[in-house]
Structure 1
């Protein structure tokens, strides 16, 4: 199927590599009869803007420019990968970024020493508004509207971007991503039985799921939840696809119906909560770094890969030949959680 894409701002270095993780695959092939694990290196979409968010931002920024916007307002946690990528992408595109952040504790920007993604937000010149957890959760839609009105009063126009850029516009990033990874795999002589990703705001899984169905492949997309439960993400994927269908009715091919029954989410590896990891998750991150030289983060990719390894042990992927893990980036999130890795650098 030929997919007609809307306008996009070229920001990412595409296509990203598809690499086999043969050492880790061998470790889990016996006695679990696990698959050959491949990794789609979307952590390499760009150096500092890196990660899955950049694919979405290519379409979001193009839409912002088409609407005559000069400012991007978005939101996320204190260490949001999406907000960091938005801040840098906006700078590259000549736009202003304003990030509304959920504080991890009762603090304000003046009292906080920036680290990780937050430090990059400031370096990129983004305006940072840091809110206590309760205020952020209770007032987020109002905050967006207040800041939109603030810029309008200044004669400026802002585009408001939801968490993770995950909606019917941002979904285009991983419709294109699905098309790319399936082409990568075919170039290696196989069609993957599974695509696996971390699921945090839902947009990446939505795009991969929709993209695979549009392409007519049987590949199963499975998201490993890092925050909300399975029921939430099943609804979120369906909502994102419905939003896409409403926004782009001409993109929907006659006779195509998105099959919500093919959406799969595993929510057993969230740990204590969003952005909180367990010792086992930190150990899985260290294992991959030591066996493959590949860095994951404890918020998204580390949890998902830890879950994947455990599900291989439980036999979920028994007799599967090829599985692709989509590395969605997030390495800046390692540094604020450095204390969790203490056992990894202790003398052995």
Structure 2
């Protein structure tokens, strides 16, 4: 029988990897929120370039309610919130934000209230947002939901919107702690610096002397690629990080991530350690039928379910780049980071219905008789 995990939900002093000890500021504490380490295994996608090996880091398995890459950032952000005496958390994102769902669950684990500002269409901003996907979990755990239109979000910005709610709560006597979009600030960056240490240890404990040449990940808010690229460049991994942006353009992310790294006094240029390509397609959280068909085909071929917003778009763009530029990838060992987001698929069921028609009514001949006691319903 497995022993109980008494570390889960505990807060402990944080000791950084030796190769990151020069960064500043270093977090003082970290909460144990994820089920870590997450596994790494071969991912046998078809049509890879000659000699290319593809591996998968399963950060989608870091939990269920509290799953995906956001958990790693929240381990540091929630520790900071508790240390500063917060009694509630504020964060912001899209209507199906994985980060907002993870934050709502983490807050409730730690007995904090959670206030979410969610971006949606102006046509339905005055209506009940429903219980689809991430919204179901957020509302079940009691998060307070404020809706804003995409137009209001673009005009006012996430920082001002969260500050408005912060000021309102402070006037009511609350002690709010604001977490930015995606948990992407310099503190949250430590989540994936720590993930690089985890990958290092997994490789060292292996028996096949595996070395990764490349790390591939979706880029939506910047904190994940900041930690991965910085950690990889400082550690023994030295793998090139390739990020596929699912919203804003690559130039935006090069600049944004540079700000995160400068906030840690890393003294490194993002353009030297990250290759960012555009994979947003129709726009954030919007999918072509080809992208959704790809998600379905990958699941049917390998059993790995990608989300439509992040990892699905990134993997789709990665394979397209491999097809267009095979020499760039031939013979390389590639680690793809699956950042979770399964619940986002529930928002795409109408688009995907035509892609998954594998069902039928069971054909049972009228002459077949039931045997007593077998299949009996009570």
Q: TM-score, normalised by structure 2?
A: 0.84
**Of the candidates 56, 60, 63, which is equivalent to residue 46 of structure 1?**
63
Counterpart-to-counterpart distance in 1, 2:170 and 2:142: 20
Q: After superposition, what is the alpha-carbon deviation per residue over 1:124-144, rounded to whole angstroms, capped at 9, x for unaligned?
A: 111100111111222233322
* Matched position secondary structure for 1:106: coil
- 2:42 corresponds in structure 1 to 20
Counterpart-to-counterpart distance in 2, 1:281 and 1:66: 43
Structure 2 gap segments, 5+ residues each: 1-16, 360-378
Q: CA RMSD in A?
A: 1.8
Counterpart-to-counterpart distance in 1, 2:171 and 2:122: 32
Counterpart-to-counterpart distance in 1, 2:119 and 2:67: 21
Q: After superposition, what is the alpha-carbon deviation per residue over 1:51-78, rounded to whole angstroms, capped at 9, x for unaligned?
A: 0000000000000011111111000000
Structure with more helix by fraction: 1
Q: How far is 1:186 from its partner?
A: 4.0
Q: How far is 1:34 from its partner?
A: 5.2
Contact persistence 1:28–1:34 (CA under 8 A): no
Contact persistence 1:167–1:244 (CA under 8 A): no
- 2:255 corresponds in structure 1 to 235
- 2:274 corresponds in structure 1 to 263
**Of the candidates 321, 330, 336, which is equivalent to residue 332 of structure 2?**
321
Q: Does 1:340 align with 2:351?
A: yes
* Matched position secondary structure for 2:329: coil
Counterpart-to-counterpart distance in 2, 1:322 and 1:34: 9
Structure 1 gap segments, 5+ residues each: 246-251
Counterpart-to-counterpart distance in 1, 2:155 and 2:320: 36
- 1:200 corresponds in structure 2 to 220
- 1:150 corresponds in structure 2 to 168
Contact persistence 1:72–1:96 (CA under 8 A): yes
- 1:274 corresponds in structure 2 to 284
> How many residues in Structure 1 have an aligned counterpart in Structure 2?
333
In structure 2, relative to structure 1, the CA distance for the partners of 1:213 and 1:258 (3 Å cut) is farther
Counterpart-to-counterpart distance in 2, 1:341 and 1:330: 16
Contact persistence 1:279–1:340 (CA under 8 A): yes
Counterpart-to-counterpart distance in 1, 2:215 and 2:88: 34
Q: Does 1:106 align with 2:123?
A: yes
In structure 2, relative to structure 1, the CA distance for the partners of 1:275 and 1:259 (3 Å cut) is closer
